[in-house]
Amino acid sequence: MLNQKNYFIFSPYLAQQAMRSRNLDFDLVGLAFARSVASISDQAMAERVKKGPNTYTTDTVAAIKSSLTGTGLHGMNTAMLTHVASQLNAVGFNDDGIRVQNMWLWMRDLMTMATVEAFYGHANPFRTDPAGLKALWDFDSALPAMLFMPPALARAGARHRDRIVQTLLPYFEAELDKNTDVSSFVASRTAVSRKYNVLGEDLCRGEVINIWVSTANSIPALFWTFL
């Protein structure tokens, strides 16, 4: 990569040790990703670079950790499995079942919708705008170009990202993330964003990355396990 070097760790043990090392700083990687891929504004980036207690990044990490354990994780798993069950139960027992032209696309779309159902509750904005979820996978395909090419040559990724933002923005502007059936994974992070005035498109663009992180590896892995 021109004047840079990349090091890849494939050993789970070494990856764990690297994550625990105090000599490795992953903040710069995260900040670069937020700038180049999420296109976070200067005002929101100024909050992200602050370190120490009572800062945006510290409070966000704490919110993520607490929401992905115990009752928070159990609630998301329950909501996700409930959605999957509702789709499978609809197939019925007295007919020919379900026929799909492409198993990958069927499973991908089912599990992606189940994920956002678990995140956003009954007001899930993708229910009425499923095209936003297709944009998520178009964004996934375009993301490598966003990482390694100038913005002018990676416009497709930005276009798909902003298409997802269009789906999310009315939801957060109406503060529907405060509904009681919204996952703590979403509610706790957005509470932090409001505390530090990271709002509007900045909030939604960060949310795009969280949806992508939650689906990009797990759903393909599930598909190959299924096969």
Residue 92, domain CATH = 1.10.630.10
pLDDT band, very low/low/confident/very high, at 94 (cuts 50, 70, 90): low
Looking at per-residue pLDDT, the higher value among 1 and 184 belongs to: 184
**18 within domain boundaries:** no
**1 within domain boundaries:** no
**107 within domain boundaries:** yes
- The answer to whether residues 138 and 156 touch, using CB atoms and an 8 Å cutoff, is yes
**13 within domain boundaries:** no
Q: Is a pLDDT exceeding 90 seen at residue 170?
A: yes
Q: What is the pLDDT of residues 102-149, one digit of tens each?
A: 999 999 999 999 999 999 999 999 999 999 999 999 999 999 889 888
CA distance 160 to 141: 10
Q: What is the mean pLDDT of residues 144-166?
A: 91
Domain that holds residue 60: 24-226
The mean-pLDDT minimum among 18-27, 46-55, 90-99, 154-163 falls in 90-99
**10 within domain boundaries:** no
How many domains does the chain contain in total?
1
**191 within domain boundaries:** yes
- The answer to whether residues 211 and 136 touch, using CB atoms and an 8 Å cutoff, is yes
- The total number of residues written for the chain in this structure: 227
pTM: 0.86
pLDDT band, very low/low/confident/very high, at 84 (cuts 50, 70, 90): very high
pLDDT band, very low/low/confident/very high, at 5 (cuts 50, 70, 90): confident
Question: Within 13 Å, how many C-alpha atoms sit on residue 166's CB side?
Answer: 14
Q: What is the DSSP letter of 117?
A: H
DSSP 3-state of 15: helix
Q: What is the pLDDT of residues 12-42, one digit of tens each?
A: 888 888 878 877 777 777 888 888 888 999 9
Rounded to the nearest integer, the mean pLDDT of the chain is 90
